[in-house]
Chain A
Amino acid sequence: MNMTGKVMSLKPALMENHMQNRIDDLFREKDKNILSVYFTAGYPNLGDTATIIRLLEENGADLIEVGMPFSDPTADGPTIQASSDQALKNGMTLEILFEQLSDIRSHVKIPLVLMGYINPVLQYGVEKFCRQCSRTGIDGIILPDLPPDEFSLNYQEVFKANNLHNIYLITPQTPDSRILEIDRLSTGFIYMVSSSSTTGAGKKVSDFSREYFSRVKNLKLQHPQVIGFGISDRETFENACQYAHGAIIGSAFVKALQQPDPLEVIISRFVAGITGTEDREG
C-alpha cells in the first residue's frame, strides 16, 4: 500500500531534472484516505524521534510530519506549544534532529516532511538545511511563516536542487485567485487548514465550512489536498477525507503521546483508532 522508497543519498549536483519524490509516489498510488501524522521531534523524550517515526509507519501511517520545535510557535495551539517547549527543554536542536534521522531511510520508506518555523532554518543556513534534508531522505518542508513571495524570490532554487517539496497552506479566507496561484507554485500537495484557527482547535469537521471545501474541490487543482488542523479522531478523519485526499492529525496524536503506556502500545492503539485496521485499503 505504501510506495517503494527510492534511495535519496545523491548530491544535488548529480541529480537529474525529474527526480522522484516519495510524496508524489504516495499520491500516485493512493488517492484517498491518506493518513498523515504530525508529532514534535524530541517529545516526549529527546531520543523518541526515530522510534515514533518507525512505529507510525509500522502501524499504517502514510506520511509523517516531523515538527521542528520552536520557541515561538505562533500558528500553534496549546498542545503543540507545550510539546515544542518540552522538546526544547529536552535539548532538541536542528543539529540533533538531523543526527537522529541520519539512519532513518534504512528503516522507513514512507514520505517524511519537516514542519516548523523559518527562524531556526535561517540560523542553520537554508542551503545547508536543504542539503542535509536531501541527504537524510526528507521529501518535503512545511514552514508556515515562509510565505510564497519570499520563497519564490529566495529559496525556490535551492529547494528544487535538493528535490524538496515546499508545501503551502490555504485557509477558508484564501481567495480563489490566490489558491490557484498557490497551486501553481506548489510541489507535492496542498495543506488545507480546516478552519480559522491555530492547530488543535477542538471543532468537528462536520462543523467546518462545506462551502470552503466544495469551493476548493471545484477549483480542480493540479495538486492533491490534505486537510489539517482540528482532525482528532476517526469521525473527523473520515469526514475530512470525503473532501480531500487525506487528512493530517497533529495535536490529538501529541496528546496521546502523553499517556503512560509504552510508545508501541500508544501508537498502535492511536492509529487503529483512526483508520480501523480491518477496513484499510491497500
Chain B
Amino acid sequence: MLRSLYIEGNTPFHRLPVRVKLITLMTASIALFFVSSLQILVPTFVTTLCLYLALGLPWREAFGRIGWIAFAIAIVALATWYFNGLHEALALTFRLMALVLLAAAITATTTISAFMDEITVMLQPLERLGLMRAADVSLALGLVLRFVPEILDRYENIREAHRARGLPIRPLTLFVPLIILTLKDADTIAMAIDARGFRRQ
C-alpha cells in the first residue's frame, strides 16, 4: 500500500537539503556503475548501511523496507555468479545494495512536501517555457499520496457492501459506484483547494 515512508527525526541526513540528497543519489548511481573494485564497493556499501541504520528506524521496519529489493538483488546475484563468476556477483550485490540503502535513507528522511518543493523548483524551467505549472505538478503528487488510500478504503467498503447483501462481485457494480463517489469527492476537494487559497495569483 502507498504510504508515507518518512520517519521523524533530526539526524544530519534529515537536515541535508533535498537537492543535495537527490544529486548525491544520481551521482552515486552513475559513478558506481563504472566501479567494479571490491576495495571501493565494500566500504561504500558499509557506509550506506551505517547511514541507513543510523536513522533510528526499528530493526524490523528497517529490514522490512528493503527486504523485497534485497531478495531480487540476491536472485540476480546468484545468476551472475553462475554465468560471470563470484567477483562479478559480489560487485553487483554491493553496488546495488549501496544504492538501495542510499535511496531508502533519502526516502526515510525527506517529507513529501520537501520533495514537492524540490520538484516545483526543478520544473521551473519548463514553467518558464509555458509548458506547465510547476506548483500544480507537485500538488498532484501530494494529492495522489493523500487520496489513494482513501480510494482503496472505499473499494473495500463497496466490496463489503456487496458481501453483506449477498450480491455477486462484478466489475460493473463495483467500479461504477467507486468512480461516481470518487468524482463527487473530487469536486469538493477541488473546492477545498480553492478555499484554502492555493489558487495562483
Q: Do A and B bind each other?
A: no
B→A interface (CB under 8 Å): none
